[in-house]
Amino acid sequence: MAKRTCICFISLLLIAGTTAVSQDTVTVPLHLKAGFDLSGPIMKMIGSDLTSYGATLSADINSSLAVTAGIRYSTFQTSDYSYDFMSRGTSVAVGPDYNFIKANIAQGKHYAGIGVRYGLSFYSEEATVIRYNNEWGAGESSVPLSKHTGHFLEITPGVRTEIFPGMTIGWNLYLRMLISAGAGKDLKPVWMPGYGAGTSGLTTGAEYYISVTIPYRKIRVIVKPKQKESGDEEELEEGPTQTVTFPTGSGGRL
């Protein structure tokens, strides 16, 4: 009997390695989020040429990582002294968001992080009137309606917080890098929906989202790693504290 107990104990030690004393965990809810951008309607109210409505859907993968997909419909209409221009279209942008706040502090309610997106813009553009006035005289011309597809990358740092259960607000800045406007070098759009000025390789701005959040699952997150029982105590004392998330199906699910 004593031999069996000994074998069992040794086996447990082998299975568990040399770790297994104390660890702190927190239970974090993972959310699905659906958000609406308020900055578009605000800009329109103050007299912008741009009308833009944006919405995002986001799903937490773990306590620090989420996948976000955004869709935006924009129309831009301007009348300059030398031209009248119109573009309209829909853009989609997909990519991950990484939350820098630790799970035990964020608790699924707060976000301060950065996102990266790949965006596609499906748009049409038209210059209904081009006015020119040079030595030959004055005149008018136009650029007929044409459809294009543009590509861009977006880096978007931001913050969000829960104002009450089920509702978050937050803003994010964005830096967009144009890959291609899809309209050739001569007819780059004055405004590419979802991106900005098509003649600029970089555009910046801010968005202000209000989101509805629905918890769909809870995970247990280790905020303080297990400490080794013997032999490696010195290494543990010097080792960094890490946040570890149980992958799905690994026993971390509650």
Partner 1 sequence: MTNMFGTNSITPFIGKRFRYDLFIPVVLTLCLGSCSVQSCYEEIDPMMNTILLESGTGESAKASSLTVKGVTPADTIEFVDAESVSSFSVTLDPSIDKSVFYITLDGISDTAVIFYTRSPHLVSPECGYTFISTITGLMTTHNIIDTLIIDNSNVNLNGEKNLHLFY
Site of interaction with partner 1 (CB under 8 A): 39, 42-43, 46-48, 80-83, 100-102, 104-105, 109-110, 112, 127, 130-132, 134-137, 139, 141, 143, 159-163, 169-171, 173, 186-191, 197-199, 205-208, 241
Q: Cα 13–251–29 angle (5° rounding)?
A: 135
**Least Å from the CB of residue 231 to partner 1:** 28
Q: Report the C-alpha gap between 147 and 190 in whole angstroms.
A: 14
Q: What does the alpha-carbon distance between residue 72 and residue 184 come to, in Å, rounded to a whole number? A: 23
Nearer to partner 1, 80 or 233 (CB): 80
> From the CB of 206, what's the least distance to partner 1, in Å?
4
> By CB neighbour count within 10 A (0-12 exposed, 13-18 middle, 19+ buried), where does 54 fall?
buried
Q: Which is nearer to partner 1, 109 or 226 (CB)?
A: 109
242/250 with CB nearer partner 1: 242
Contact 230, 21 (CB under 8 A): no
Smallest gap from residue 51 Cβ to partner 1 (A): 13
Residues 6 or more apart from 169 whose CB is under 8 A from it?
160, 161, 163, 208, 209, 210, 211
Nearer to partner 1, 48 or 248 (CB): 48
| Distance in Å, CB of 125 to partner 1, minimum | 10
